[in-house]
Structure 1
Amino acid sequence: MSSPSMLKTDALNVLRCITRELRYAKPQSSPRNLLAFQYLMKQYRQNQVTQEQVCRAQNGLLHNAQTYLCLLRSTRECEALRTEYSHSERTVQESARLVGLELPKVPPTE
């Protein structure tokens, strides 16, 4: 079982990474203005461990935060791949020329 200080460190790292991903998703606005960030901060504050209170759901919160981070990263990377490779398909001749080859001439049919 993880120690409470280890969980706190992991939770802060995940929160920082989520904030970074939100900045990538919406570069024109501050993450503090986004509803997703506000909800996330509310959840982190509600489930933080204090000396007077022990949160049983902290492991669940950390798992949910890591899952959300994975979703944000995967979405960003998928969009980057889609924009990079979404060009129209090349013809066989264009593909051959791209690698420095020429297709043989097809004799006319009679």
Structure 2
Amino acid sequence: MSGSKVLRSLLHELRQAASDANDMKKSLAARYIRAQYKRLETTDQQFCKARNEAIFLGQTYLTYLSSQRKYNEIYREYHGRGERSVKETADLVGFKLPTDPK
């Protein structure tokens, strides 16, 4: 994954985590990430070990942020809210209840 893709993905995940779109403009994390990527920007003729390390670190944080978001979604979906009806439980696991012919 290239540096610009990692940067866009990181900013997307931060936007997903923010409660308000205006928070991204004020976000210290987003400003820091942009500053680091701008600082380590190189041309095709340069080799920068720090840039490669920054991309790897960015991918690591991206994995963490996306995993945390997915975990929270799953937790909200399946966390026990007390007793469930038989129909709700069947729907949760993908089964259909038999119907009584009348």
Q: TM-score, normalised by structure 1?
A: 0.67
**Cross-structure match for 1:78:** 71
Show structure 1 runs of 4+ deviating over 2 A: 50-56, 87-91, 94-101
2:54 to 49, 61, 69: 61
| Residue-pair matches, total | 91
- State the distance in 2 between where 1:22 and 1:14 align: 12
CA distance in structure 2 between the aligned counterparts of 1:22 and 1:97, rounded to whole angstroms = 33
Relative to 1, partners in 2 of residues 1:58 and 1:81: Cα closer, same or farther, differing over 3 Å? Answer: same
The residue that corresponds to 2:41 in the other structure is 48
Sort the Cα spacing of 1:85 and 1:51 in 2 relative to 1 into closer, same or farther, 3 A.
closer
The TM-score with structure 2 as length reference comes to: 0.72
CA distance in 1, matches of 2:89, 2:13: 36
Deviations 1:7-34 (A, max 9, x none): xx71111111111111110041342311
Percent identity, please: 29
Cα 1:15/1:96, change in 2 over 3 Å: closer
Which of the residues 81, 88, 92 maps onto 1:88? 81
Structure 2: how far apart are the matches of 1:59 and 1:44? 11
State the match for 2:15 in structure 1.
23
- Give, in angstroms, the shift of residue 81 of structure 1: 0.4
Q: Indicate yes or no: 2:32 matched with 1:39.
A: yes
